Every structure is written in structure tokens, then in C-alpha cells.
Amino acid sequence: MRIKFDKILTNKEEIMNIDRTNPYNVAALLVHTICNYDINNTNNFYDMLTYLMGDMQPISALMKQNIKDRMLQNNKYPYIGKSYFVGAIPSNDYNPTIPYEIEVSDNAYTDSEQGYKRLLLTSGGADNQRPITLRLAKDGNYYVWSDSMIGLLTDIRKPESENPWA
């Protein structure tokens, strides 16, 4: 399923306007959140992530360090989030096509555990789709479950402009 947006959402207030009873939307909102990681000021990123994870799952110092390590690994933080938008590939320096679309897929394991959704996101810089787990809460909304989002931060190919071998 492709989730479409007119722009890349940039703060908690903007993502609060999207229906979270649809798990595909929540997975797509996580991509927008990753796009907002700023090494000099992570407050906005963590406001957005906290909203998507819910107050019942505080983000630990260990998780924050893990996110930072992944984002700084090979200095991919400026483009890792954008790589999940359709059309964003290394040869165009991860510039997505407009409207902004995110491909969210399911498979045989998507509904294997009651109350959870395991969805897959496609990155233009990776060979395989990456999983994200969401959990359905009593309020009817889906939330990013635990630290399952860390897998979305796994390394991808460098943009062509930064690749000395391209």
C-alpha cells in the first residue's frame, strides 16, 4: 500500500492530524519522523517519536544512544529517512518524487500475533524491505512497538554525490 503526502511532515502537530487507527499510516509517519533527525537538536525528533510510541513506552537513554549511533554511522542521518520515499534512490541523492509516497507492505507474518502488526518498508538504498512492529492499544490507535524502529536505521548505500566509487 502506498501512503501519499503533499509534503514531508516536520513536527508533532502535523503528524497528530493523521489517523493512527490505520497501522500503515503509523509506519509512514515514522518515516517522516526519521527525516526530522537533527544531530544538533533532537528535541523535535523525540517529540514526534514519543507521540508515535505513546506515553506508555518511555524512550530510554539506551534507546536514544542506539538511535544516535545508527544515525551517525556513515553519516546517513541527512538521507536515511528520505530513502523510504518512492523515487528516492542513491543515483538522485535520495530526492523523492512528489507527491511524497511511502510503500508499506505486509506479508505472512503481518498478523501472526494478536494485537500486533508487522509491516515492511521499502528503502531505495537497501536490497530488502525493513520490518516495523506496531501494537494496537485500547484507544484504538496503533503505536510503534518498543525499539522495532531501530531496524529502519540500518545502513543503506551512500548517495551518488558522496560515493567515491560511483
Residue 164 forms part of a structural domain: no
Q: For the stretch 121-156, what's the b/e string if a residue is b when 16 or more beta carbons lie within 10 angstroms of its beta carbon?
A: bbbbbbeeebbbbbbbeeeebbbbbebbbeebbeeb
pLDDT tens digits, 93-148:
999 999 999 999 999 999 999 999 999 999 999 999 999 999 999 999 999 999 99
Nearest residue to 128 (alpha-carbon basis) of 154, 149, 109: 154
Evaluate whether residue 50 is within a structural domain: yes
The answer to whether residue 19 is domain-embedded is yes
Q: Which helix (H) or strand (E) holds 2?
A: strand 2-5
For residue 119, tell me if it sits in a domain.
yes
pLDDT at residue 166 is higher than 80: no
pTM of the model: 0.96
Helices of type H across 17-165: 23-35, 43-53, 61-72
Asked if residue 160 is part of any domain, the answer here is no
**pLDDT score of 51:** 98
- In one letter, which amino acid is 66? N
Per-residue pLDDT band at 164 (split at 50, 70, 90): confident
The residue range of the domain holding 145 is 2-154
Q: Is residue 65 part of a domain?
A: yes
Coil, strand or helix at 19: coil
pLDDT level of residue 165 (50, 70, 90 thresholds): confident
Q: Is residue 149 part of a domain?
A: yes
* 166 in any annotated domain: no
Q: What is the pLDDT, as a whole number, of residue 37?
A: 98
Q: Tell me: the pLDDT tens digits for 46-82?
A: 999 999 999 999 999 999 999 999 999 999 999 999 9
Indicate the number of domains in the chain: 1
pLDDT at 138: 97
